[in-house]
Amino acid sequence: MKSPAFDYIRAESPQHAFELLAQHGDDARVIAGGQTLLATLNMRLSQPALLVDIAGFDAWRGIAVEGATLRIGALTRHSEVEASPLVAQHAPLLAQAAPHIGHRAIRNLGTFGGALAYADPAAEWPACAVALDATLVIAGAKGERRVKAADFFQGLYTTAMQPGELLKACEIPVTAEGVRQDFSELSRRHGDYAVAGLAARAEVKGRTLSDLRLVFLSLGDRPVRAVKAEAALQSGAVDAARLDGADAALRAELDPFEDLTHSVAAKKQLAATLMRRAVARLIEETR
């Protein structure tokens, strides 16, 4: 299937893009990497009258450490995040997650901000952003505003961005001493969407976890934080009994959707397996 006809304008500046979006409203779509949009166009799931290309905003790409914050521009490619020494040092969760995103060709073209703004609950970056307590920088004609990742993702393909706004950057607190991070997912084949995935981070002292975040992907309409399982794991040193308690808490609080190949019970089992594996890796003495 081929995409419907549309007009195309390469925005000369952010202000130009905001003007175009204000003028055309719901008839306009923004394109940067295009790895999701082009597929929806070809399947006619999206039929805009105008594509506004923002790929030329060089100031909106790149990775830098600013004080205690790792800042990733929205137009930074997935592969750049994957290969960045700064990301590996200050947000290793992202470095672990990156290879799970599609295939190399997709990572070479797709953008970090595009994946966050699309808010696919099966995508890796949204879950990582919530686990890392990231802040999303949103730009509009009237200026910038910042929204915590936990508040940014509001439902299936739905975010806190208002019409005419664009995602400009993601700001992540740099990893403090003693904090460990772990990402894993389960899929039918490499490159497929995950059946279930987990972004985890915690401050670790021996077998004790604190400031723990367990954020699942593909198990709801947005990244799902398992707060009851977190509480069960943080009430003392992790042992078999505590893991069993967290397992029970996790299964009780998750409410995943059934799909064509996996039942609700199967998805809860996969989530519990991911949690147990992540906790084991977090408390390993040698990493």
- The number of angstroms, rounded, from the C-alpha of 236 to the middle of its chain's C-alpha atoms is 30
Asked if residue 12 has pLDDT above 50, the reply is yes
pTM value is 0.96
DSSP state of 216: E
CATH of 58-172, one of 3.30.465.10, 3.40.50.1970, 3.10.28.10, 3.40.50.300: 3.30.465.10
Which 3 state secondary structure label does DSSP give 50? Answer: strand
* Residue 89 φ then ψ, to 5°: -80, -45
What value does the mean pLDDT take over residues 257-276? 96
Mean pLDDT of 276-281: 98
pLDDT at 285 over 70: no
For residue range 148-187, list pLDDT tens digits in order: 999 999 999 999 999 999 999 999 999 999 999 999 999 9
Instruction: With CA atoms as reference, report the closest residue to 232 among 213, 251, 249.
Output: 249
Mean pLDDT, residues 108-127:
97
Q: Which pLDDT does position 7 carry in this prediction?
A: 96
pLDDT of residue 242: 97
Domain ranges of the chain: 7-53, 58-172, 194-282
Euclidean distance between the first and the last CA atom of the chain, given in angstroms as a whole number? 48
pLDDT-derived band at 286, boundaries 50, 70, 90? very low
Q: Edge-to-edge strands of the sheet including 166-173?
A: 63-66, 69-73, 166-173, 135-140, 143-148
The pLDDT tens digits for 79-103 are 999 999 999 999 999 999 999 999 9
Whole-angstrom distance, CA of residue 211 vs CA of residue 134: 15
| DSSP code per residue over 75-119 | T-BHHHHHH-HHHHHH-HHHHHHGGGSS-HHHHHH-BHHHHHHHT
Residue 224, helix vs strand vs coil: strand
Query: pLDDT by residue (tens digit) across 219-242?
Result: 999 999 999 999 999 989 999 999
Architecture of domain 7-53: 2-Layer Sandwich (3.30)
pLDDT of residue 287: 46
Please tell me the predicted confidence (pLDDT) of residue 1.
67
CATH fold, domain 194-282, is Enolase-like; domain 1 (3.30.390)
